[in-house]
Structure 1
Amino acid sequence: MSQSYDVIVAGGGAAGFFTAINIAEQNASLKIAILERGKEVLSKVRVSGGGRCNVTHACFVPDDLVKFYPRGEKELRGPFNRFCSGDTIEWFERHGVELKTEEDGRMFPVTDSSQTIIDCFLEAAHKLKIDILTGQSIQSLYDAETHWKIETTKETFLTGSLVMATGSNPKMWDVLQALGHSIVPPVPSLFTFNIKDQRIKKLMGLSAQAGVKVKGSKLEASGPLLITHWGMSGPGILRLSAWGARELADKNYRFTLIVNWLNDMDFEDCEAILRELKQEHAKKTVSKKSPFDFPNRLWESLVLASGIDTETRWADLTKQQLQALAVQLVQGEYQVNGKSTFKEEFVTAGGIDLKEVNFKTMQSKLCPNLYFAGEVLNIDAITGGFNFQNAWTGGVIAASAIAAK
């Protein structure tokens, strides 16, 4: 015995709920169900942003917003012109959730709790009579021309429109591949670098602005760099990992990282500043106090790494020591040997090839009445609320297309 619905949304995560709710709000006559393979829905929302749910980012210009997406930049320009961060804020306010902006632009519910977002979605789904069916692991999809036939481990469903919001689920990518879709192979994005190095061994928890680049590559980024017990993390590193997701996977996460602790200052300028410091602070001890805008502990570590002992005065620095210090400051090389997942923010680069999707409707170009939302597509962003914004935008566009049929 099969169950019939006008619309079935596969995936009970952020993209799935947002799509289903928006369809129901735009067309109350449609019978809608969300199928979730797990025991509970919205589990990734619960852990996102350290349990606070980083809903979106305070970047309101579509042409600027797309620059945060290593994959999807070109394709998202049109969609963001239809539903951007400002629309997200308005949508949540309309549903009783007020958002606040933090200094770095990230936006959270004022409650600082992801439960607020979960409750908002569950209440809206309940009010709109959307069926939420858990423990429904999809085994196969069959395109019967007039409708879709979906077989789960428990039962069979029939639907006129099917939305795939299944995230980075390799099994679902296999099912979609069987329908003729191309899958860009998944690789991790947003990860931190494992580095064992004497210079940073005792500096755990220290943060500084830095420029980072991969030696022998065009990959580079800048931003706060955080030293951890396993190596380096922070926004600058995460940005590099996102943009370099494929290239770093090809290197098996073994490469040389060049760190510029003075951000974008070059070697010549750095050397010139050190020569001035040598004149000005002749009688002072070099290692004593950082002359730059980063912590003393880091300065002392870089001074020692340059072959300058703790008692050496500026006046006594040799030309070689001064150059060695300039190298440590702006061209320090660190060996990366592996990666670690960044908190709970597991993001995958890969998914449905974007050439096979109509971004005016989020509909498959290969299979009519098949739509996509969220990370099932080969779209991903750096950390900061951007991955959720992709989910909201894609969800609204798919919803509008389905509701208007």
Structure 2
Amino acid sequence: MSIEIKAPTFPESVQEGSIATWHKQPGETVFRDDLLVDIETDKVVLEVVAPTDGILAKTLKEEGAIVLSNEVIALINEGAAAASVVEVKEEPVENNGQEKTASPSARKLASEQNVDLQAVTGSGKDGRITKEDVAHVGGSGIPEVQADSRTTASSSISIPVGDRIEKRVPMTRMRARIADRLLQVTQTTAMLTTFNEVDMHKIMDLRSEFKDEFSKIHPGARLGFMGFFVRAATEALKRFPSVNASIDGSDVIYHGYQDIGVAVSTEKGLVVPVLRNAENMSIADVERTIAELGAKARDGKLTMEEMTGGTFTITNGGVFGSLLSTPILNPPQAAILGMHSIKERPVAENGSVVIRPMMNLALSYDHRIIDGREAVSFLVAIKEMIENPAKILLEI
């Protein structure tokens, strides 16, 4: 019996993908949950796993080929051929004198989640333990399609030093999509940037005083600067709705919620996971969620849903040492806030010159729907809240 292996269902924002790597070749024995192929889309690399035991009979798409949502890409012959080599492929698990077997993916997941396989009841053929069995015991659902952390050929380039050598490497789909979107922004928006500077000393003093206590009370959260900026941005967006708007054809859409995208740099390119309903999140919620999304981004585990949408974006080039930059809009959003590195500078304060840790802020915005007055006022509002953190808590 032949079983069709299909590409995953892509969301509306993703039109197609391409075959990145086949991990199994025609004629090879495969087991349920074995990784068959990586499919690279504009945003993530997706894994497609075997739905059952059998032999990979045929691959219908070569590496590099374009695939559409739910398109058939391979065929598996389900039968006894795979079962005949189960003992070679799977290791026995001691269970009170009785032997059980576990698939390689089940063993890997059990190791990652510290699950004792002896406590797992197998639901597979002849009591074999599957990945779903381990996931159920571990308390987490494991989807059939996951983002992958593997790097592609263009993400790690090695060129000998001292020779006049050129190496031509095709762009990954993600890098090509990023290039297209950046070019689209410059051609289709009236982008303008306004700048300001913010005195960070009160935020830094607050952070130094409470960061240890904050981490103890809020496990998984570390008190950083991004939590304050996200909270300040959500409050400012409430005051200036056009900064939180977007253009759809000849219409302007005003969003009654604040979904804040936070730019994260990965080996494969820049991704922007989204904090949903950031206006309802505390600083601890923001820091914890950013930490979780950042880890998933670096591991290539972000889902499509976690990267789509968003009404406003914050990017922090300061972590790389950037002193000043002009961030590019993330369409269809109308504005993006750029944070930069903190440098001590002499500033005038109450008629005296003092040394303060200063950060440059940049707000790029679409001048078609945001006037200069609104953009400048928005940035000043963020500046005032950061320089006086009590205003964030009091929402004034």
Taking structure 2 as the reference length, what is the TM-score of the superposition?
0.22
Greater RCO structure (CA 8 Å; 6+ sep) = 1
